[in-house]
């Protein structure tokens, strides 16, 4: 019968555990890593989800990534308890950047699906970030024509073409062309143009007081 090899016969395991831990810490320091002390863990446990990880990292003189990784280990070991309500109300920088980048491309519901959050939560967060998901001009999901098309249609109308001729060229309804040429729709080039118009209206009203 083949003899079973024990992996614990290596000389390393003949060294007392305390000595192995001590040697491991020394090796980590030499390699540029700083092991977490009991005081570090106590501080992290005390302030986890009470203040941002960046603040904890600054106090412990560590990177945010290091603190995040350590918190995951403490959660795994049952030394930290995650507050689900806190998680729902707090967004990471990556999530915020995604919300900002998606404002002209996606709906609240679509963003919520990607982030694993509720539509209402994303809507509230967007408001706090000062981000509008209102779709203006060619960013609207129902827009059939680009801003360049709109300008060209108006130029053709000024050149003398009637609405029917223009509509055939762009494969849209006559009524839509008429509204474009009469500036009853597609008044703004983009969101900045739209909100600039709203601001000017408000300023004009304030000036009448």
Question: What is the model's pLDDT at position 138?
Answer: 63
Residue 189: closest CA among 160, 154, 159 = 154
CB-based contact 68:53 (threshold 8 Å): yes
Q: What is the pLDDT of residue 116?
A: 79
Contact 80, 48 (CB under 8 A): yes
Q: Would you say how long the chain is, in residues?
A: 209
**Is the Cβ–Cβ distance between 159 and 174 less than 8 Å?**
no
pLDDT at 91: 86
Is pLDDT at 44 greater than 90 in this prediction? yes
Give me Rg for the CA atoms of the chain. 31
Quickly state the pLDDT bin for 58 (edges 50, 70, 90).
very high
Model confidence band, residue 43 (pLDDT cutoffs 50, 70, 90): very high
């Amino acid at each position: 019968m083949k003899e079973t090899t024990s992996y614990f016969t290596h000389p390393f395991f003949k060294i007392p555990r305390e000595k192995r831990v001590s040697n491991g810490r020394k090796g980590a320091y030499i390699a540029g890593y700083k092991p977490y002390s009991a005081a570090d863990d106590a501080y992290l446990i005390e302030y986890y989800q009470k203040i941002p990880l960046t603040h904890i990292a600054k106090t412990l003189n560590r990177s945010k990534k290091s603190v995040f990784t350590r918190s995951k280990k403490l959660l795994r070991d049952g030394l930290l308890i995650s507050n689900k309500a806190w998680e729902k109300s707090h967004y990471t920088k990556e999530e915020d950047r995604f919300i900002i980048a998606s404002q002209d491309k996606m709906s609240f519901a679509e963003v919520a699906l990607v982030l694993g959050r509720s539509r209402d939560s994303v809507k509230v967060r967007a408001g706090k970030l000062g981000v509008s998901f209102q779709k203006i001009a060619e960013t609207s999901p129902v827009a059939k024509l680009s801003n360049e098309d709109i300008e060209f249609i108006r130029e053709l109308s000024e050149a003398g073409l009637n609405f029917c001729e223009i509509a055939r060229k762009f494969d849209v309804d006559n009524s839509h062309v008429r509204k474009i040429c009469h500036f009853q729709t597609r008044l703004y080039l983009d969101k900045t143009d739209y909100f600039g118009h709203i601001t000017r209206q408000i300023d004009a009203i304030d000036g009448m007081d």
